Chain A
């Protein structure tokens, strides 16, 4: 499409041209030809600027906005494309995510809940996890966008996209890979995976988690799988007394505020995604209850394997030991009999 020179927009190309003096017809034609036909080589353009000194004022301002793409009034973080990109990057980076349903919480209630959550997380002391608490986020998500982001993360592999040939403005053809999350390749991969009536395989994470994505949702994301932090978050957001008791009244009086309590009543833990696997509430609580984090789990595994080895050796030993014991007892019996008068029995048993 040739550029529209006369446009009503204040920042359009017209206003950029206006302050200049009368442009010679020829140089204007050259300008048009350079912008519409991409095959003009570089020396020609140098000739054009050299011939007409008035053209230096024709340079577009740095904040030039093309009239066909007016600047958006939306803040960048709620633009859908930006939202989708932030969700996919969040899903790829976070190993631990809890999903909550929130039913009409007010802003003050959110503030109170976030304050109590940060207080509880800050008081967690686990070795090697000092900077987790500051990076834990409780955020409200747009459910449908999140659903799309989950599909992209699961069904689209950016490394498998073939490069496509494009023609640059200078006429040179080059190979470029368009594999970002908003690309056509991503869209097609997702369409191919979810199209049709056939149900998704049970093993896919998306098929398991998609029933959860209904209604207003909020997610709590942790940058690492740290059961201690998860336990602290659970005790604030979804307390269940024996394992995850709510914080004491003396320690955090703000938790028992009317606003915080009414907010917590409306927050409902529905599930979680931990290390790419989907867990329900009991599963999340189980992960929160692991003593000593991943190290603790590894120690448990090592202990289990060691004790299994011990058991095996004792079982193998046991057979020969019991054989020896029976033989020994038999021998003692025979020896007693031999002392009683019979000669042969003891000799045979010893050989």
Chain B
């Protein structure tokens, strides 16, 4: 997963729900020095009885915000969605460098 262009990750999930899987796995995909490199990661855990759907918000360097529906999407499609935008940013960054 390309995490260079992500500036903000906000997740909310109830760990006792099976649907929280992709949100939790997304957190584990972020590199160990993500916070040190300026990414802000906020996680809010819901209580066990809550039936609120789990949510994942991702903000990119160019200001684009993504609200991903973790209830329905698996981790593969979440990563695919995020990478789709990251690759555009990567292309622009490469063009600017050269």
A79-116 CB contact bits vs B (8 Å, 1 = yes)? 00000000000000000000001111110010000000
* A106 / chain B contacts, CB cutoff of 8 Å: 32
* B35 / chain A contacts, CB cutoff of 8 Å: 262, 265-266
Name which of A104, A106, A262, A271 has the most chain B CB atoms within 10 A of its CB. Answer: A104
Partner of B16, one of A101, A211, A269: A211
CB within 8 Å of B: which A202-229 residues: 208, 211-212, 214-216
Partner of B25, one of A102, A211, A214: A214
> Nearest residue in B to A212 (C-beta to C-beta)?
B15
Judge if A281 is at the interface, Cβ distance under 8 Å. Answer: yes
B44 CB → nearest A CB, Å: 11
Judge if A317 is at the interface, Cβ distance under 8 Å. Answer: no
- Cα distance A208–B24 when bound, in Å? 17
* A270 / chain B contacts, CB cutoff of 8 Å: 15, 45
Name which of B25, B32, B43 has the most chain A CB atoms within 10 A of its CB. Answer: B32
Size category of the A interface is: 20 to 34
> Nearest residue in B to A282 (C-beta to C-beta)?
B47
Contact A104 B32 (CB under 8 A): yes
CB within 8 Å of A: which B13-72 residues: 15-18, 20-21, 24-25, 27-28, 30-32, 35-36, 41, 43, 45, 47-48
- A interface: dominant SS: mixed
Contact B31 A104 (CB under 8 A): yes
> Nearest residue in A to B19 (C-beta to C-beta)?
A211
> Nearest residue in B to A102 (C-beta to C-beta)?
B28
Contact A101 B27 (CB under 8 A): yes
Judge if A268 is at the interface, Cβ distance under 8 Å. Answer: yes
Partner of A215, one of B25, B41, B43: B25
Known: A104-B30, A211-B15. 8 other contacts (CB 8 A): A103-B27, A106-B32, A211-B20, A215-B21, A215-B24, A215-B25, A262-B35, A265-B41
